[in-house]
Amino acid sequence: MPTSERPPAQDAANDTARQSAQDGSPESSGVAVLDRAFALLGAFGQDDDSLSLAELSRRTDLYKSTVLRLLGALEHGGFVRRLPDGQYAIGPAPLRLATIYQRSFQVGPVVEPLLKQLSADTSETASFYVRHGDARVALYRWEPARSVRAAVAVGQQYTLRQGASGKVLCAFSDDGREGLETVHARGWAASYGEREPDTASVAAPVIGVNGQVHGAIAVSGPRVRLSPPETMAAACRAVLGAAREASRLLGGGAAQLARFDEALRTLSIDDVTPED
């Protein structure tokens, strides 16, 4: 029987068998229907305004009948919306949850003005990242008024152990410090083309009460523009200054603030000169 003519019951059985084979993976929650619904939402990329039923089926490896049933439930909850042309787009519910997620960190009023000033001072993109499991998420961002700039998507998950902010988040966590002792000792990290070949970045931690690491402040920009040692050193000083101020406002102790002062005092051109 052709795939397109399979009855819904057979589709569901085949999907169940396929899901059972994946249930032992770290990505599975163990609740098949939720995993499939999350897979549908995750199928939308940063540049996807809308996707067809066929494309969602292809990206999730689920049968169209199963996808259609899940889309109906997600549409009812406001997580997706069906467009007049029959395609599907993300609905308003994730935006509401994202707003709650941002507010739960309680750093926005402190960090956002600093990012705005940091972007103005460096003429590059300034961002604030938090760790989410084995990934990092851009929680806030401020971009310069330049046609060519580093693209940072708020809410997007990025690789944790690549990029300056990722290395900082690892270096200041108990389970990721191995191999990043220098970053922890210095209090900042630089990156040259690690996640994106044409992008460079520098980052420092934001540390609050009792040494709690709230996240990492970073500046990123085109590698050709940001990687010259003098430019990178200036960006590093600006990032350290912003991270120090954010830490102070969030209750960082004298010892923590002194670390920022020491990092600023000892920073040299050699420290930010790319090895290649």
Which residues are CB-contacts of 70 (< 8 A; sequence separation ≥ 6)? 33, 36, 37, 40, 62
Q: Are residues 121 and 69 in the same domain?
A: no
pLDDT value of residue 31? 84
Q: Are residues 116 and 232 in the same domain?
A: yes
Closest residue by Cα to residue 17 from 29, 9, 27: 9
The domain that holds 85 is classified in CATH as 1.10.10.10
Q: Are residues 141 and 43 in the same domain?
A: no
Q: What sign does the CA torsion over 126, 194, 176, 35 have?
A: positive
Last residue of a domain, one of 94, 117, 135: 94
Q: Residue 78 pLDDT more than 90?
A: yes
Least confident of 26-40, 155-169, 199-213: 26-40
Express each pLDDT in 225-255 by its tens digit: 998 999 999 999 999 999 999 999 888 888 8
Express each pLDDT in 56-67 by its tens digit: 999 999 999 999
* The model's pTM: 0.67
- Quote the tokens at residue 240: 């350290």
pLDDT value of residue 150? 80
Distance (Å, rounded) from C-alpha 58 to C-alpha 189?
Answer: 39
Are 136 and 169 in contact, with CB atoms under 8 Å apart?
yes
Range of the domain at 76: 28-94
Q: Are residues 112 and 155 in the same domain?
A: yes
Please report, for residues 49, 113, 132, 220, 236, the alpha-carbon distance to residue 140 in angstroms, rounded to integers and kept in the order given. Answer: 21, 10, 14, 13, 19
